[in-house]
Structure 1
Amino acid sequence: METQKKHCKTLNCTLTKRVIELHGRGYTEDFRDTPDKRFICIQSSEQFKTSELIICLVDLGFDKLSNSFKYIHTIETADGSKGLMITNAIYSVNSPLSNQFC
Structure 2
Amino acid sequence: MQKRIVYKGMESTPVLEEFANKHLEKVEKLLDPQRTPIVIDLVLENAAVHSHHKVTLSLKTPEYNLIASHEGPEMYQEIDRVTDKMVREIRRAKERLDSIHKGKNDN
TM-score by length of 2: 0.27
Which structure has the highest strand share of the two? 1
Which structure has the highest helix share of the two? 2
Larger radius of gyration: 2
TM-score by length of 1: 0.27
